[in-house]
Amino acid sequence: MKIAVLFLTLFPSIIFSQAPVQTVTDTNPSDKVTKVVRVRYGNARTLAALAANGAPVNVNADNLLQVIVLHGRANDTATVEQTIHELDVPAATQTSYKSKDVELIVSVVGGSNSTELMPGGPISEAMAPVVKQLRAVFPYKSYQILSSMLLRSSEGAKAESNGVMKSLTNSDQPRPTGYGVAYDEANVSPEEGRPTIHLKNFHFRTTVPTPVGSTNGSQYSQIQMNDVNIRTDIDLREGQKVVAGKANIDNSDLALFVVLTARLVE
């Protein structure tokens, strides 16, 4: 007898490791049925506890064998069995989505019909396809990159940048041109392949000094200040270059194009 007591004291988990999840006293054994339900995907004991919660059914579950044994009235056991099958499904494949920063490159391209006003500068290899498309629609004699700027923000946040870009004019005393670029919010639509980045209220603004008139043999004697504003909501595929807008500079032969490229970064 002491040996039995010692065994129970040292190894209680062996006897009770598969204790019933739920026990109900049988009032009429002849009215009972026993069902063995095999578990394919989930944890047997967890499923049993969830499915039989409050049901008048005796439930025993074994995680090693991946089975649940039900004992009770036919209708009650059938209900619990159906609940187990509904819960025992493959875990939904969920892509853990981590919020990323949006990195936006804003390129300002100038176009001119007067080579005296703005010389054609070298076009980068990355921008060459964009300029080629612009020439097909807007056949200006000269194109050049005036400035490129970088904005970065987290998803759902705004961004703003201000600076100075290259002058549109080719005068002896070129005037620097200030600019500002901003958006109110950047949102990302998760999709297969390249996601879509939505910029809410994107805004580019600048004031362009343009020489006009001529006196005393000088070709240009006056400077006219022209405000340029491009404001729009815009959708971008990651890595895609999109022309956000074009602005003519008053009645001159000059135009500004704003080209956007966006990508997501960790």
Q: Where in the chain is the domain with CATH 3.30.1370.120?
A: 15-87
Render the burial of 73-85: b for 16+ CB within 10 Å, e for the rest: beebbebbbebbe
User: Residues 54-82: what's their mean pLDDT?
Assistant: 91
User: Residues 103-123: what's their mean pLDDT?
Assistant: 75
pLDDT tens-digit map of 117-138 = 555 456 788 889 999 999 999 9
Q: Which CATH architecture has domain 15-87?
A: 2-Layer Sandwich (3.30)
pLDDT tens-digit map of 186-206 = 988 866 667 889 999 999 999
Q: How confident is the model at residue 112 (pLDDT cuts 50, 70, 90)?
A: confident
CA 31 – CA 37 distance, rounded (Å): 20
Q: How confident is the model at residue 93 (pLDDT cuts 50, 70, 90)?
A: very low
What single letter denotes the amino acid at residue 83?
Answer: T
CA 82 – CA 128 distance, rounded (Å): 64
User: Residues 48-52: what's their mean pLDDT?
Assistant: 88
